[in-house]
Structure 1
């Protein structure tokens, strides 16, 4: 073999070797794909998704399914270039920069914990929204989930503490507590009124400046509701707040006579406020694909997601705009009875 041919062969081998090696190098992207779809009127692992005790319930039919997005990648388990390339050519998945899912200054474990808390909050908000729709009264308290090591609340606020006041004002929800802390300058004292073990105490803290200069004390809180009967929601290993609307509809269907779906397979998504407002979510394309694969014919869509949903909706999946829980119930009534207008996502 000539020296020229040998040089070309060696160069080709090196290019191939570097190409193969590069294909398996980690890249800072996350692959989003359709995740599990669960019927809120059905079961997960032989347990009802929604269980209600202490209140009369009624038979249901059809499906009111929540949809999810599965992700592959992240700071703790980055995908390789080959996986990202496969995702870019697959129309059912999306490849997004890692920082859109995991903020660069956030610990992945902290993000996972917050997703769990968001799911719990979503379930409670969904129950509250359903009870508000039915005009059933309830009460609520703000509790401490955890504190960050080294931050002002560390060792002073404890898991399970009920926050009753903040600077003498009623701590009626997490937003009130957060906004009151943020109204202070770093170093200024803020006083938490706490119910601990049946005893009322005051815990003064001095916020420090966070990464963006905002004052913080390093406490993760959640609003806990005291409902007049038990509502238990079981969805397995699913996090985040985007199933709120479908939880509310499932609870409503079980608590009211008749069948909300009319036997149809309905899927949908959207965060829910206790007042019933439906909020936008991420991953709408993957969620619609998951809904279609699960046999849904109707997809309840938050108003703010309508634009992108119309562009990517699978054939045969009817998009119904859901601004509020009440509007979603009215839309399902119209679909079932054929009477009244069904709000659609604008094209």
Structure 2
């Protein structure tokens, strides 16, 4: 703990020689009477006061130092101890409070243009590098300490999370695999929607067979638990990628359906799968009947959407290690801006979040309040968000973003383009029909 020192300005000029006269006490009265009162003035008085004050200050030094070390020790301990010692959040599924060792917090708002690389397409259509930027926004969900809980528990941009709220019923590895696949799919759909909107001839094709979840054959009455999973659950896991069926490579779900023709529930099929962290594994999978269509034989899983777009030119969006589908609308708008005349942003900066679907609709995302805070910290003052977010989400985002951030909800790509035009952006050229 640092004590503040106050320096008083002096009207005297300092020099090497002190020119002030000394003031001495008067001599004692005759007769040798004892001295009962001495009035000390000037420099002598300063010295007496300094001596007495210093002695009194020394008495306070030790407890102040002890308290300072105690405070520092507490801060160090609180910075190490996990937040779930003190933090709890409500889990509606089980109707109880649970420890909250994680928190959803703002990460960053980054320009999309820096991540897009378009090949030479002058023979197909010209490029128009924009002056403005669209920003996509990220969040993170790190472990928390007691200290971070104390600091952030009342911050509207911070949400503490239980283990289930962060991971659901997936392992961290499975969650990571799905997040990266969601980002890749979002990137592909964004390319399809943007180029189709600009009049290009594009096509989506099916991709790898990636297991998103296993099929539940018998759910509980409340639908919250599965009483019986498909037999394939014994050897397959969410996150597995199916490479071969009965020795034949497969390129998509359609290939898998073709190879299952003629097989019956209860039959066993050898498969080669790729499992995150374990590599390639050979397994024997027992087939079953579809709960919705008893006459149809299935493996017993729900596939992940891994569609890919076929383009008339080379196009790459570098998403790095960022996962999730929420940058879809930002990618779509940036591609339209790159490949059409004018400035959709009006030459400025606009933050965007929301998934994008093949029909141009904009879907809800998670962590909106954290993203609003990240946008505000970047200094961007317009944030386009999905209209499908709840009223509570949008209100919390406005609180986190502050008064200087304008948040505008949109339901479709066309609505987003209209909002940009209202805020000074140029309209895109009409597509000839």
Query: Which TM-score applies when normalising by structure 2?
Result: 0.57
2:337 maps to 1:253? yes
Q: Which runs of 5+ in 2 are unaligned?
A: 1-72, 85-99, 212-232, 259-263, 270-284, 292-297, 428-433
Matches within 5 A, 1:1-347: 24-25=81-82, 27=84, 28-41=100-113, 43=114, 49-55=115-121, 56-73=126-143, 79-103=144-168, 105-144=169-208, 146=210, 150-151=235-236, 156-157=244-245, 161-164=251-254, 167=257, 187=266, 206-207=287-288, 216-217=300-301, 220=304, 222-305=306-389, 307=391, 308-313=393-398, 314-336=402-424
User: CA 1:159 to 1:248, structure 2 compared with 1: closer, same or farther past 3 Å?
Assistant: farther
- Say whether the 8 Å CA contact 1:65–1:268 is kept in structure 2: yes
- Say whether the 8 Å CA contact 1:299–1:320 is kept in structure 2: yes
- Say whether the 8 Å CA contact 1:306–1:321 is kept in structure 2: no
Residue 253 of structure 1 and its aligned partner are, at CA, apart by 0.1
Q: Which one scores higher on RCO, CA 8 angstroms, separation ≥ 6? A: 1
Residue 107 of structure 1 and its aligned partner are, at CA, apart by 1.3
Instruction: Tell me the secondary structure at the aligned position of residue 304 of structure 1.
Output: coil
Instruction: Tell me the secondary structure at the aligned position of residue 305 of structure 1.
Output: coil
> How many residues get paired?
281
Q: Which of the two has greater strand per residue? A: 1
Q: For the residues of structure 2 that align with 1:258 and 1:37, how far apart are their CA atoms?
A: 24
Q: Which runs of 5+ in 1 are unaligned?
A: 1-15, 44-48, 74-78, 169-184, 191-203, 340-347
Q: For the residues of structure 2 that align with 1:321 and 1:221, how far apart are their CA atoms?
A: 26
User: CA 1:238 to 1:21, structure 2 compared with 1: closer, same or farther past 3 Å?
Assistant: closer
Q: Could you give the per-residue CA deviations for residues 265-306 of structure 1, whole angstroms, max 9, x where no partner exists? A: 110100111221100011111101111111211110100226
Q: For the residues of structure 2 that align with 1:159 and 1:288, how far apart are their CA atoms?
A: 45
- Say whether the 8 Å CA contact 2:343–2:425 is kept in structure 1: no
Q: Could you give the per-residue CA deviations for residues 172-201 of structure 1, whole angstroms, max 9, x where no partner exists? A: xxxxxxxxxxxxx975899xxxxxxxxxxx
Bigger mean CA offset, 279-288 vs 216-225: 216-225
Which protein is bigger by CA-based radius of gyration?
A: 2
- Say whether the 8 Å CA contact 2:346–2:426 is kept in structure 1: no
User: CA 1:205 to 1:330, structure 2 compared with 1: closer, same or farther past 3 Å?
Assistant: farther
Residue 59 of structure 1 and its aligned partner are, at CA, apart by 2.3
- Say whether the 8 Å CA contact 2:244–2:250 is kept in structure 1: no
User: CA 1:99 to 1:167, structure 2 compared with 1: closer, same or farther past 3 Å?
Assistant: same
The equivalent of 2:279 in structure 1 is none
Give me the CA root mean square deviation. 3.8
